[in-house]
Amino acid sequence: VVREKDTCWEYAEKLEGNKVKCKFCLRILNGGISRLKHHLSRIPSKGVNPCSKVRDDVTDRVRALLASSAKRKKQQQQRPAEVVIQSIGDGTTACRSMTSMEIVPHVTTKVYPTAVVSVPAAPLTNEESAERSIAMFFFENKLDFGFARSPSYYQMIEAIGKCGPGFTGPSAEELKATWLGRIKSEVSLESKDAEKEWATTGCTVVADTWTDNKSRALINFLVSSPSRTFFLRSVDASSYFKNTKFLADLFDSVIQDLGPENVVQVILDSSFNYTGIATHLQQSYATLFVSPCASQCLNLILEEFSRVDWVRECTLQAQSISKFIYNDASMLELMKRFNGGQELIRTGITKSVSTFLSLQSMLKQKPRLKLMFNSSEYAAAASSLSCGNKPQTIASIVEDGDFWGAMEEIVAISEPFLKVMREVSGGKAAVGGIYEMMTRAKEFIRTYYIMDECKCQTFLDIVDRKWTDQLHSPLHSAAAFLNPSIQYNPEIKFLSLIKEDFFKVMEKLLPTPEVRRDITNQIFIFTRASGMFGCSLAMEARDTVAPGIWWEQFGDAAPVLQRIAIRILSQVCSSFTFEKNWNMFQQIHSEKRNKIDKESLNDLVYVNYNLRLSRQLRTNAAEVDPIQSDDIDMTSEWVEEGDSTSPAQWLDRFGSALDGGDLNSRQFNATLLGSSDNFFGL
């Protein structure tokens, strides 16, 4: 039973006997989890062949586990046990060394009859001394503890270990003058490799915006294509953010830098004058599509869901439970004992996402919560609290069937939209599936509330206001029409509804009769699954291969339609959800900085942003929820007591009044980083 708790079991399948099967390369190993760890670490050992398909982040994690295990064993072997000197009653003492297990000759000492004296602990081992130094570095420089989870942290530790004694590391000047430029060149080369595919797949320009209450407006420009997304630059648009003409000129310059023939789509968030910029760009570039951020629109749907009266009432009751537990150490400890150490709530990328993820989590733990609030341990702990009738009030909510019934409804109707948000927020090309996913989400509401027309209409009206009126575009319809998993699915009923939008897109991308001479015949071949479209391999790959890749492999019989399909289906439909520290971007554009400092900080931001985008690319989407944070936000309205939450406590990922930060880094930075703190010493 103990062995089953080993964290490495998630990478293996247990077989009969003492065999395990690696989930990456499917190799079967004898010897259990220990040999699997050596296999995944890619360090040849004990006759175990390294795994050829394991991801780098998994290798780093397993190596850290092996190193930790080896360190513990070494400490047990090297460190002498505590030596106890105890009175024997006649003024003499006996001393036993647990290391040598030999009796030390009696010595005379002046002690009290029952005294126990402990010899000071042994000096730190080399490993402990190294760990202490690393910890001191973190504390002294106010570094987020989460940095220790970074793959580059483990790579750094391993590389330093290989250097041996005498290695001093680069100086501050070497980091700034030498290594920043070298790493920037490496990152730039990676982006150049991604540019090679643009002629085939096209790319999407994503404009990510931050504004504050002081008329400050910063815009980050990113470029996305199937192989990767990379950061271009950050622009201070404060002086002209409300001027559509100036902003349109800014977007013009970005598109010209990338090549107008390569840019398929521009994604804007709600901070912009969407209509004005979209009109200008589409007049200037006839084949360009301008779309709102899908994640942001979905967040607005969830936000309006949370404002429905009965949903808000249920949420407030749930928050009263979580606040009661998280604001008392004894209750928090009791809750962790009853639910196996799990957190009761979740933190999402926005306030609204956090609400529905937390309700979902609380509903899953309903049986354990009820068991806890009906236990003798709870009664004893509650009796010691000085908060009046609050323990009884909270317990009555937990026992309220109507409360749990409302929560079940909320979780049911929100889950389809959280699912869509996960799909479009992960950085992958999701434009080919968003129409179907939204159609299914709306259909779920109709089915769920088939006996309650009033509630059904309430939620559908919210969805239609955001999806139909704001988010949906002909590009989504065309992408759905060209998606083989939709086109050939007999259960899909909306193809006739999107056909008109599909033809509008064809006319936009093929503006003259000459270029669309054979397009009708090619569309017919595709919809009838003729030729290669209908071969066994193509049929088997319809639901298992990315739509853009499917067209590249099987669309040769319709070359014009093939090129259009690949370019459309290769696009994202949202900006990106990993954390950003907007304070760093503010520093780039600070008027107090001289030109040299700004150049260095610009380079640093370029490197930092792109390294994290690259890390996100290497991370398995199955292991990371793109809409959920690993840590609990202890300043949220699910934890912090009070009648209202300060705007600074909820820095939503989306919206036009962000305060500079993100859900993951805010808690640490707000506490330790003052307004005068400079990043990286630049």
Q: What is the pLDDT of residue 5?
A: 58
- pLDDT for residue 625: 85
Mean pLDDT of 319-324: 96
Looking at the fold, whether 60 and 30 belong to one and the same domain comes out as yes
One domain for residues 62 and 104: no
Average pLDDT (399-405) is 97
Any domain includes 70: yes
Share of the chain above pLDDT 70, in %: 81
User: Quick one: 274 and 206 in the same domain?
Assistant: yes
Residue 646, in any domain of the structure: no
- From the number of C-beta atoms within 10 Å of its C-beta (0-12, 13-18, 19+), residue 553 rates as middle
User: pLDDT tens, 594-620?
Assistant: 555 667 778 888 898 888 888 877 765
User: What CA–CA distance (Å, rounded) separates 521 from 532?
Assistant: 15
Does residue 440 lie in a domain region? Answer: no
pTM (two decimals): 0.73
Residue 331 has pLDDT above 60, yes or no: yes
Distances in whole angstroms, Cα of residue 511 to Cα of each of 105, 476, 506, 622:
101, 19, 8, 41
Whether residues 214 and 260 share a domain: the answer is yes
Same domain, 65 and 93: no
437 in a structural domain: no
Does residue 648 carry a pLDDT above 50?
no
What pLDDT does residue 575 have? 80
Residues 583 and 659 in one domain: yes
3-state secondary structure of 340: coil
For residue 330, the model assigns a pLDDT of 92
Q: Work out the angle between the directed axes of helices 244-258 and 274-284 (0-180°, nearest 10).
A: 40
CA pseudo-torsion sign 264, 268, 272, 275: positive
- Residue-wise burial string across 175-191, b where 16 or more C-beta atoms lie within 10 A, e elsewhere: ebeeebeebbeebeeeb
Q: Are residues 7 and 45 in the same domain?
A: yes
| 589 shares its domain with 669 | yes
Same structural domain, 222 and 264: yes
CB of 619 within 8 A of CB of 577? no
Tokens of 612: 């994290």
Where in the sequence is the domain holding 109, given as residue range(s)?
A: 84-118
Choose the final residue of a domain: 26, 45, 77: 77
pLDDT of residue 186: 92
Residue that is last in its domain, among 62, 77, 92: 77
| Residue 350 counted as domain residue | no
> How does residue 592 score in pLDDT terms, banded at 50, 70 and 90?
low
Number of structural domains (the chain) is 3
Please report whether residue 144 resides in a domain.
Answer: no
Q: Is the pLDDT of residue 653 over 60?
A: no
Q: Which of 209-213, 220-224, 375-379, 638-642 has the lowest mean pLDDT?
A: 209-213
Q: Is residue 230 part of a domain?
A: yes
Which of 27-31, 609-613, 669-673 has the lowest average pLDDT?
669-673
pLDDT for 415: 98
Q: What is the mean pLDDT of the chain?
A: 82
Task: Answer yes or no: do 112 and 33 share one domain.
Answer: no
Percent of the chain with pLDDT over 90: 49
Flag whether 127 is in a domain.
no
Q: Which of 63, 93, 118 is the last residue of a domain?
A: 118
**Any idea what the CATH number is for the domain that residue 658 is in?**
3.30.420
Is the domain of 109 the same as that of 33? Answer: no
284 shares its domain with 202: yes
